[in-house]
């Protein structure tokens, strides 16, 4: 993988900046290798803030780079694409984070045979702990290998069929909010039973991390791990069943499906 390349991030908002910070945190890219664009009114006063190169001109940023990450909100992507489509050459790889926009739409506009990867990360990419789902038009190309290697540095990746991209949005990208809310709820419970808020949050967050690591490292099933904690007539099963009687699993499932329905309906 060529770590000397310049990366352009078109749209340095929440996810664009998180990707930029993740790449630098990985220690493979220097901030000055990353050109980030924003609207003029949104540019930082110091155009080298954090060592990154900020600018307003999307086309110029793309011409300086080989890998282009497009991370603007869906309702403006067409205008942005109109302004940059002719700048792409065979040397470019396009990575799109734009929710709900198919690879074919970019291909139609750009009209060049370049590798396009559609990715769905979450904000934990900033600390290299993202779950990133990826689809592409060129699964066997070295350019796609490069994109995958890049996101592998920023957490875990899974190559999926593009038709599952909105499912990935709900489960992985929106999902981080759902797990954060679960941790927050556990902290609130912890405070009610005696811990200061900061202590409760530490205990809840590390417990959630431990639970996730049990599954990721041991490849075990959640219910097998739960069975190890629930002694007969014990306090764990008492709490767990109370949560289930109040619809815990059902609320989580319904929330994810609702989010997916909303994403699908926005597309139509
Ligand atoms: N946030 C997430 O966790 C997440 C996860 C996965 C995918 N996504 C997708 O990623 C995309 C970006 O989301 P986001 O949350 O990062 O949105 P965001 O914070 O609003 O970032 C978008 C950025 O694009 C900038 N922008 C607007 N017009 C521009 C222009 N003409 N040229 C260059 N930059 C311009 C915006 O500036 P202004 O604010 O001044 O308009 C903003 O900095 C969306 O399609 C979203 O669905 C987001």
User: Where along the chain do its domains lie?
Assistant: 7-167, 175-267
Distance, in Å, from the CA atom of 31 to the CA atom of 182, rounded to the nearest integer, reads 34
The CA-based angle 235-238-242, given to 5 degrees, is 145
Q: What pairs with residue 95 in β-bridges?
A: 69, 117
pLDDT at 82 over 90: yes
At residue 3 the predicted structure's pLDDT band, cuts being 50, 70 and 90, is confident
Distance, in Å, from the CA atom of 268 to the CA atom of 258, rounded to the nearest integer, reads 16
Burial of 43 (0-12, 13-18, 19+ CB in 10 A): middle
Local structure of 147: helix, strand or coil:
helix
Whether 18 lines ligand 1, by a CB cut-off of 6 Å, is no
Query: Which of 73, 48, 71 is closest to 58 using CA atoms?
Result: 71
Whether 122 lines ligand 1, by a CB cut-off of 6 Å, is yes
Q: What is the pLDDT of residue 195?
A: 98
pTM of the full structure: 0.93
At residue 266 the predicted structure's pLDDT band, cuts being 50, 70 and 90, is confident
At residue 268 the predicted structure's pLDDT band, cuts being 50, 70 and 90, is low
Q: What pairs with residue 130 in β-bridges?
A: 155
Q: What is the token pair recorded at 264?
A: 């699908």
Q: What is the pLDDT of residue 42?
A: 87
Distance, in Å, from the CA atom of 56 to the CA atom of 119, rounded to the nearest integer, reads 24
pLDDT at 267 over 70: no
Distance, in Å, from the CA atom of 182 to the CA atom of 239, rounded to the nearest integer, reads 15
Sign of torsion over alpha carbons 195, 201, 205, 206 = negative
Topology (CATH) of 7-167: Rossmann fold (3.40.50)
pLDDT at 211 over 90: yes
Distance, in Å, from the CA atom of 163 to the CA atom of 264, rounded to the nearest integer, reads 11
Q: What is the token pair recorded at 17?
A: 């900046």
- CATH of region 175-267: 1.10.3730.10
Q: What is the pLDDT of residue 4?
A: 81
Q: Are 86 and 252 in contact (CB under 8 A)?
A: no
Average pLDDT over residues 68-97: 96
pLDDT at 254 over 70: yes
Query: From atom 18 of ligand 1, which residue's Cα is the shortest distance away?
Result: 13
Q: Are 37 and 55 in contact (CB under 8 A)?
A: yes
Helix (H) or strand (E) holding 93: strand 93-96
pLDDT at 200 over 90: yes
Whether 167 lines ligand 1, by a CB cut-off of 6 Å, is no
Q: From residue 41, how far is each of 14, 37, 38, 57, 74 by CA, in Å?
A: 16, 11, 8, 13, 20
Whether 96 lines ligand 1, by a CB cut-off of 6 Å, is no
Q: Which of 8, 15, 53, 78 to mutate to test the pocket of ligand 1 (most atoms within 8 A of CB)?
A: 15
User: Inter-axis angle of helices 175-192 and 248-267, to 10 degrees?
Assistant: 150
Between 159 and 265, where is the model more confident? Answer: 159
pLDDT digit string (tens) for 135-191? 999 999 999 999 999 999 999 999 999 999 999 999 999 999 999 999 999 999 999
Query: Which of 72, 118, 71, 127 is closest to 93 using CA atoms?
Result: 118
Distance 253 CA to ligand 1 centre (A): 28
At residue 2 the predicted structure's pLDDT band, cuts being 50, 70 and 90, is confident
Mean pLDDT (the chain, rounded): 96
pLDDT digit string (tens) for 16-41? 999 999 999 999 899 999 999 999 88
Distance 95 CA to ligand 1 centre (A): 14
Whether 266 lines ligand 1, by a CB cut-off of 6 Å, is no
Whether 121 lines ligand 1, by a CB cut-off of 6 Å, is yes
Helix (H) or strand (E) holding 94: strand 93-96
């Amino acid at each position: 993988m060529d770590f000397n390349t310049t990366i352009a991030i078109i749209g340095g908002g929440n996810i664009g900046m998180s990707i930029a910070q993740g790449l630098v945190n990985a220690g493979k890219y220097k901030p000055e290798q990353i050109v980030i664009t924003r609207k003029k009114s949104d540019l930082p006063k110091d155009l080298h803030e954090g060592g990154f190169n900020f600018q307003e001109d999307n086309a110029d940023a793309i011409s300086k780079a080989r890998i282009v990450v497009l991370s603007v909100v869906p309702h403006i992507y067409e205008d942005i694409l109109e302004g940059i489509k002719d700048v792409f050459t065979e040397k470019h790889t396009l990575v799109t984070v734009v929710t709900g926009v198919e690879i074919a739409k970019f291909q139609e506009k750009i009209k060049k045979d370049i590798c396009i990867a559609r990715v769905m990360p979450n904000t934990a990419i900033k600390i290299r702990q993202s779950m990133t789902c990826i689809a592409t038009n060129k699964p066997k190309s070295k350019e796609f290998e490069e994109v995958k290697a890049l996101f592998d540095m920023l957490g875990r990746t899974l190559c999926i069929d593009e038709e599952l991209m909105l499912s990935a949005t709900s489960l992985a990208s929106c999902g981080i909010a759902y797990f954060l809310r679960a941790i927050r709820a556990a902290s609130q419970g912890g405070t009610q039973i005696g811990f200061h808020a900061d202590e409760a949050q530490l205990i809840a967050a590390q417990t959630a991390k431990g639970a996730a690591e049990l599954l990721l490292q041991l490849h075990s099933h959640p219910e097998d791990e739960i069975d190890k904690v629930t002694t007969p007539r014990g306090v764990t099963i008492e709490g767990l069943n109370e949560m289930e009687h109040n619809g815990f699993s059902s609320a989580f499932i319904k929330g994810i499906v609702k989010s997916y329905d909303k994403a699908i309906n926005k597309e139509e």
